[in-house]
Structure 1
Amino acid sequence: MGEDVPALKRRRVENATTETIRVAVLLETLAPTILNVPTERRLILRFWKSAGGFWRGETARQAWLLVALLIATMLLQLLVQYHLNFWNRDFFNAIGRRDQAELWGQALLFVPLISASLVLAVTSVWGRMTIQRQWRAWLSNHLYDHWLGEDRYRRLRFVPGDHQAPEYRIAEDVRVATDLPIDLLLGLLSSMLIAMTFISILWSIGGSIDMHVLGVAVAIPGYLVMSVIAYSVVITAATMGISRHLTRVIEVNKRAEAELRTVGARLRQDGECEGGPSIIGAPRVLIALALKDVIVRWRDLCWQLMRMTLVSHSNLLLTPFIALLLCTPKYVAGSMSLGELIQAAAAFVVVQGAFNWMTDSYSRIAEWVSSANRVASLLLALDQVSAEAYGDHAPFCTCSGVPICAP
């Protein structure tokens, strides 16, 4: 038996309502992109125009002093790491000679080295997080002043562009956009210094190796350095190829998360409004669609990170093995001691890690670009509010006696 006519009509109405809401949500999501799409270069420049004020204004002196402290700490950490590398050589040479007195001497030398490393690591964390905290506070206050000043927060809804959930962008995206540049730039500087320092160790210990190609003896100078450079190029190229869409995936994921929060806030606001508009069944469908979009975006992000993990974890496992494998022929031939074998292998791993900065940081760079773009999109929208003339006030409704903008 078929459905009765009233039930059939009711189902058609519900389906039509669902489709209408789905189209409305889709249009609301796509409209900013269709109407106003600034280039990524423009977004990054707009972000730095505001965020760079922290490094130029009244806060600049203290900020640059902290940067100087971090660089000094980094140089001292590099010095300690350099001595630890030679400590590895001497310690394992003592093991190879079964020299008990030397072993005890090296064990005592290890204590001040590790103590200095711990103190410097703690100092680095304090300096880094202090800069990040102060930069975030400065930029957040700048954005709150810009957003709330001259009633821009009311008129913002009439401006086309990608600026939904401004409160989320200021609270979360500003944090990411000010935390990651400090970490990334310090990491890049440290990697460059480490590479320059430990390449000399690889070159001096590894020397050249003789290989026979088609019956002809060929000497390869600095073969450990050549090997670590070639291996790093392969790993970096693989990472960048696999993760070329990561920035877009992270940005879309952040937008979906913000949309879910916005939908929830609007539904709560609608429920608190006296006599506000209401559609039976619509709120649940609306929130379900937003949640479904978040889950889909998280799945896309998951696949991206899985592919990146495949490369990064393989590299983590293979690098020490490759280092030992490259040094073994010289050790077997007697031209390299056990301590030099361990020292060269450790230096190989350290240099490869320094060259691998792009691979290790790629996902964080993508996350920073995404957050900086979202902050810049809000700034551009607020700039447009300031530049163009809109109505004096947005529509209001009264919720619990407090006037608020209607959703």
Structure 2
Amino acid sequence: MKTNAEYSAANDALQGQFFARVWRLTTLYWRSEEKGMAWLLLLVVIALSLVGVAISVAVNSWYREFYNALQNKDLAAFTHLILYFCGIAAVAILVAVYRLYLTQMLTIRWRRWLTEQHFGAWLAHKNFYRLEQRGHTDNPDQRLAEDLNSFTDSTLSLGLGLIRNLVSLVSFSVILWGVSGSIEVFGVNIPGYMFWAALLYALVGSWLVHLVARRLIGLNNRQQRYEADLRFGLVRIREHAESIALSDGEANEQQRLMGRFHNVWSNFWELMKVQKRLTFFSAGYSQIAIIFPLVVAAPRYFAGKIQLGDLMQINSAFGNVQESMSWFIDAYASLAAWRATCDRLLSFRQALVDGAEQAEHPAIQRASGEALSLDGLSLGLADGRSLLEPTSLRIAPGEHVLLSGASGSGKSTLLRALSGLWPFGSGHLSLPADSLFLPQKPYLPIGTLRAALSYPHDAERYPQERIEQALRSCRLEPLIARLEQADHWERVLSPGEMQRLAIARALLAAPRWLFLDEATSALDEADEAALYQLLQEQLPHTSLISIGHRSSLKRFHSRQLRLENRHLAEAPAVLPA
């Protein structure tokens, strides 16, 4: 497993490969099974963008004719040019509407495909659990929802904007070169001098805006993380509302929330300061760009070398060239936010890759067999401390085994290792495939009670008669009438009811091996005994492996193991009464 220092070093190395990694992420969709429709939509959107540039070129030529008609007081030409402009405007509106509509269609299709792929990778190999254990990836929910949405939207928007600006730059550069003429500076004749003026203006502006706003990337990255941390804190309060209310923890929680919000607030102030400087510069840059071409071209106009229409065309062409060359300036804030999004998304994907590699090359070698066997299995913690010394053990099918030990000795960790969740250790273990693990607090998905009872299988997997019988056997008869009711059942049911529902789930699944990690701890001894008796009666061929502290559990298990001082040893068995 990687340490924090190793993760930091790996991230620094990956920063140097940023554009290559973004390219690989971007091209995944365009080589997928949906590439046909994706490329068709992209080409249509690009074509509409080029039509938009052509309309701008037509409007630029229209400027010259229109202002010449005004200068010459030519009413017929003026009327014709107004009607011509109405036609151009109608086409421009149609192109703008469908360019936006088709771009949004392409964006949501791309986002749906990427989301499906990332959901699969996040849930595969139990990555969603491993990421939480490693703690190197914060707020995966934000990365799967907001970052994927921002990535697809910003990548298309910036990419299409760059293409449109490049085409516009070429088109208007040709026009500007043709209409600007030449100028003599210090005895040197400079052809197309307005083009060179626009180029110099844009280059100086781009360099200055980078100096002014280069901190935006890091600030945007931190702002996204702080906002996600705040949302997570709010969700935690909702999830544990009863415990917080019973503990009168409102003041403590407010202090925690305000601590998280302080990070949001202070980082946002830094963002405001940088964006203020950027706005000062970009606003000034844009305002100067309005009069700059007029000032530069005015000598030729007052010398009578060009007419008013030519001057206005030069001004329009210069504006388009300068705007195209200044794309970096105008898009800098968007580029900074896009870079921050990419950094977060790429680090998340790298964590998923690391999780997949860990699953493919686990430290603990697993196999499937008829019995549960451990061969030199040792377990540890992430910091290297040992929990279990090398142990060999065999549990035959049909055995009922109780695992006990002091709190914190590693009993639950051993069950996690058996289920494939715990990565820290070595050795070999063999576990039958038909196994079910019941934790102390069962997970009940939001939805109908039938779906919660059938989880992780489909809600229609079990017939109504079996479901009703299981609920009655677990003393949950009142819930039969609520099977089709949708609710947040972890808030509706008591801890004891949730554990009885988990036992009913086990009765329905009828696994060959059943692992209970203090799965009846919320029940009194009489209810606990009744449920264990029920399991033995209805699942007579199922092997039971239980973790528990109550001595009353001993009579339901023919074999007992105790984990103590990092050693797993046999304990005297108590025969079932």
TM range, smaller chain:
0.7 to 0.9
Matches of 1:387 and 1:117 in 2, distance apart? 52
1:273 is displaced (CA, Å) by 5.9
Matches of 1:175 and 1:65 in 2, distance apart? 21
Q: Which residue of 1 aligns with 2:525?
A: none
Is 1:354 the counterpart of 2:320? The answer is no
1:148 is displaced (CA, Å) by 2.5
Matches of 1:175 and 1:282 in 2, distance apart? 34
Matches of 1:198 and 1:101 in 2, distance apart? 28
Q: Which has the higher helix share?
A: 1
Is 1:199 the counterpart of 2:173? The answer is yes
Report the AA paired with residue 96 of structure 2: A
Correspondent of 2:57 among 82, 87, 105: 82
- Aligned residue runs from structure 1 range 127-206, under 5 A: 127-161=102-136, 163-206=137-180
Is the 8 Å Cα contact of residues 50 and 139 (structure 1) preserved in structure 2?
Answer: no
Report the AA paired with residue 198 of structure 1: F
SS at match of 1:220: strand
Is the 8 Å Cα contact of residues 152 and 385 (structure 1) preserved in structure 2?
Answer: yes
TM-score (normalizing by structure 2): 0.60
Q: Which has the higher strand share?
A: 2
Correspondent of 2:309 among 314, 335, 339: 339
Q: Which residue of 2 aligns with 1:93?
A: 68
Is the 8 Å Cα contact of residues 207 and 221 (structure 1) preserved in structure 2?
Answer: yes
Matches of 2:6 and 2:238 in 1, distance apart? 24
Q: Which residue of 1 aligns with 2:258?
A: 288
1:280 is displaced (CA, Å) by 7.7
Report the AA paired with residue 176 of structure 1: S
1:265 is displaced (CA, Å) by 2.3
Moved more, 34-43 or 291-300: 34-43
Q: 1:59 to 1:124 in 2, by over 3 A?
A: same
- Aligned residue runs from structure 1 range 38-117, under 5 A: 38=12, 39-42=14-17, 45-46=20-21, 48-117=23-92
Q: Which residue of 1 aligns with 2:430?
A: none
**Structure 1: gaps of 5 or more residues:** 1-29
Q: 1:338 to 1:51 in 2, by over 3 A?
A: closer
1:274 is displaced (CA, Å) by 10
**CA deviations over 1:133-174 (Å, ceiling 9, x no partner):** 11111111111122223433233211242x211112111111
Q: 1:277 to 1:374 in 2, by over 3 A?
A: farther
Report the AA paired with residue 268 of structure 2: W
What's the % identity of the aligned pairs?
A: 26
Is the 8 Å Cα contact of residues 159 and 384 (structure 1) preserved in structure 2?
Answer: no
Matches of 1:296 and 1:396 in 2, distance apart? 41
RMSD of aligned residue pairs (Cα, Å)? 2.7
**Structure 2: gaps of 5 or more residues:** 363-415, 423-438, 443-489, 500-577
**CA deviations over 1:213-263 (Å, ceiling 9, x no partner):** 4xxx44322110111111111110111111112111100111111111222
1:94 is displaced (CA, Å) by 0.6
Matches of 1:384 and 1:276 in 2, distance apart? 41
Is the 8 Å Cα contact of residues 156 and 381 (structure 1) preserved in structure 2?
Answer: yes
Q: Which residue of 1 aligns with 2:546?
A: none
1:126 is displaced (CA, Å) by 1.3
Matches of 1:258 and 1:248 in 2, distance apart? 16
SS at match of 1:37: helix
Moved more, 379-388 or 351-360: 379-388
TM-score (normalizing by structure 1): 0.84
Matches of 1:51 and 1:110 in 2, distance apart? 40
Q: 1:46 to 1:219 in 2, by over 3 A?
A: closer
Matches of 1:61 and 1:363 in 2, distance apart? 33
Report the AA paired with residue 357 of structure 2: A
Q: Which residue of 1 aligns with 2:386?
A: none
Is the 8 Å Cα contact of residues 270 and 278 (structure 1) preserved in structure 2?
Answer: no
1:45 is displaced (CA, Å) by 4.8
Q: 1:246 to 1:177 in 2, by over 3 A?
A: same
Moved more, 106-115 or 86-95: 106-115
Report the AA paired with residue 112 of structure 2: A
Q: Which has the higher contact order (CA 8 A, sep 6+)?
A: 1
Report the AA paired with residue 293 of structure 1: N
Matches of 2:290 and 2:197 in 1, distance apart? 13
Matches of 1:101 and 1:350 in 2, distance apart? 29
Matches of 2:247 and 2:120 in 1, distance apart? 32
Report the AA paired with residue 141 of structure 1: E
Correspondent of 2:281 among 302, 307, 311: 311
Q: Which residue of 2 aligns with 1:245?
A: 215
1:277 is displaced (CA, Å) by 9.0
Matches of 2:353 and 2:323 in 1, distance apart? 43
Matches of 1:111 and 1:40 in 2, distance apart? 50
Correspondent of 1:37 among 3, 6, 11: 11
Matches of 1:184 and 1:364 in 2, distance apart? 8
1:384 is displaced (CA, Å) by 2.5
Report the AA paired with residue 372 of structure 1: C
Is the 8 Å Cα contact of residues 159 and 385 (structure 1) preserved in structure 2?
Answer: no
1:80 is displaced (CA, Å) by 1.6
Q: 1:397 to 1:80 in 2, by over 3 A?
A: same
- How many residues get paired? 370
Matches of 2:197 and 2:176 in 1, distance apart? 10
SS at match of 1:210: strand
